[in-house]
Amino acid sequence: MNRFSWTTCRAAFVAACATWPAIALAHVSDGSAESPASAWQFTPDILLLTLFFTALYVAGLRRLRARNSFPSPWRSASFLAGMALVFLALQSPLDALSEHLFFVHQIQHFLLHAAGPMLVMLAAPQGVLLAGSPPALRHYLIGPIMANRSLRAVFRVVSRPIGATVLFVGSLYLWQWPPYHDLAVRDEAVHYAMHVSMLVAGLVFFWCVFDARPAPLGARYGARVTMLWVAVVGNILLGAVTTLKPTALYTAYDEFGRLWGFGALPDEQLGGLIIWIPSSMMCLVALFVVIRSWSAHETKIAPRLERNLGRPGAAAPAAWDRMPHGRARLAARNRALGLKLAMIALAVFAGILALGTVIVARTH
């Protein structure tokens, strides 16, 4: 890494660590008379951490490019887009408006909990970030964290399919519970904890879903599909309850004043639709990616299965067909399975969208 990259990463990291405790409770309500719709803010913790991880990623790309082993451009674009969405969720006028409108708050949560983490982890950035990390950072911070048994035990639990799914869906439901949600809107420290927990939950969930390692190091592909279906069902149920409830439940927005003439119930119904449709759609997009990876993995291991079948006394795997042209038959079966799952996903999404459209029409 050249001197500029090293200096940039080190300065960003030191500044982020120095300012984190002091800025952790910073939020929009600073007494400013600025309109929430134009209230761009640049708090040091978020700004410096965003620049820090972006600098690490760019430095990693440069180092891997020198080794001729850098990732594809679409992965780099996915990482940068995900970081941009997280930054926009926390620093753009969305954050100020989220104190006044429930549905804007749900847009912010969608970016912070689903869209941003999904794009970041779809890029599989771990190797690039590690390549871009200065030796001192790897030695004094990353190494001790990875060697800590307690932290590794916690990560093993939350990064497995069950733990990651419970964390992802549970964080969404926890912060939508009216008493906790209203408390987060009123209290800056709780609001900050809400943002951190939802971002971490999203990153861990999509890390498990998009893990490039096949089983047993990574989750089985069937488990990943199940994780995404559970998330879709969770979004549908929470979105439906929030949209179809007869009375408004979140009173904190009335205390701050709802904007643009929105009444309490229409505001919350629109927020429920955002939980219902965009969040479910994001999980279905992830489902397509997992199905494609699953098919590519099985096609990749087909030659090895074919060789094993040729060995005397070798037992054929249950998923392998003992017919001629086994590799072609396996690829065809994978395509058929992928097509069926894709059609199911499209049907579910079409149903979600149609039902949401009907509800919107009826509420207006």
How far, in Å, CA of 64 to CA of 178, rounded? 48
Cβ atoms of 280 and 349 closer than 8 Å? yes
- Other Cβ atoms less than 10 A from the Cβ of 192: the count is 18
User: Residue 15: what pLDDT?
Assistant: 39
Which distant-in-sequence residues (6+ apart) come within 8 Å of 272 by Cβ?
106, 238, 239, 240, 241, 242, 243, 244, 245
CA angle 258, 36, 20 (to 5 degrees): 115
Region 277-299 average pLDDT = 83
Instruction: Express each pLDDT in 75-127 by its tens digit.
Output: 999 999 999 999 999 998 888 888 899 999 999 999 999 999 999 999 989 88
Q: What is the CA radius of gyration of the chain?
A: 23
Residue 179 burial (CB < 10 Å; 0-12/13-18/19+)?
A: exposed
The DSSP letter of residue 315 is P
What global pTM score does this model have?
0.77
Q: Which helix (H) or strand (E) holds 24?
A: none
Instruction: Express each pLDDT in 8-64 by its tens digit.
Output: 444 444 434 433 333 333 344 444 445 666 667 788 888 889 999 999 999 999 888
User: Residue 153: what pLDDT?
Assistant: 83
Cβ atoms of 254 and 185 closer than 8 Å? no
C-alpha torsion angle, residues 78, 235, 178, 103 (rounded to 10) = 60
Instruction: Express each pLDDT in 144-164 by its tens digit.
Output: 877 788 888 888 888 899 999
Least confident of 6-15, 135-144, 173-182, 266-275: 6-15
How far, in Å, CA of 70 to CA of 149, rounded? 31
Q: Which helix (H) or strand (E) holds 8?
A: helix 3-23
What are the helix and strand counts (H, E) for the chain? 18, 0
* Residue 54 phi, psi dihedral angles, 5° rounding: -65, -40
As a whole-number percent, the residues of the chain with pLDDT over 70 amount to 70
User: Residue 150: what pLDDT?
Assistant: 83
How far, in Å, CA of 105 to CA of 74, rounded? 29
- Other Cβ atoms less than 10 A from the Cβ of 242: the count is 22
Give how far Cα 104 sits from Cα of 99, 191, 202, Å: 9, 15, 19
Question: What is the 3-class SS of 216-280, one letter each residue?
Answer: CCCCCHHHHHHHHHHHHHHHHHHHHHHHHCCCCCCCHHHHHCCCCCCCHHHHHHHHHHHHHCHHH
Residue owning tokens 């006394």: 313
Which distant-in-sequence residues (6+ apart) come within 8 Å of 23 by Cβ?
43, 44, 45
3-class DSSP assignment, residue 314 = coil
Structure tokens at 70: 């850098």
- Other Cβ atoms less than 10 A from the Cβ of 209: the count is 29
The amino acid occupying position 236 is I
How far, in Å, CA of 141 to CA of 221, rounded? 32
User: Residue 6: what pLDDT?
Assistant: 42
Cβ atoms of 112 and 88 closer than 8 Å? no
Instruction: Express each pLDDT in 306-318 by its tens digit.
Output: 555 555 545 545 5
- The DSSP result for 64-83, as a single string, is HHHTT-PPPHHHHHHHHHHH
Structure tokens at 265: 């119930």
Residue owning tokens 């029409």: 361
Instruction: Express each pLDDT in 246-279 by its tens digit.
Output: 899 999 999 888 888 888 999 999 999 999 888 8
Residue owning tokens 């309850």: 241
Q: Which helix (H) or strand (E) holds 40?
A: none
Region 120-137 average pLDDT = 89
How far, in Å, CA of 94 to CA of 109, rounded? 10
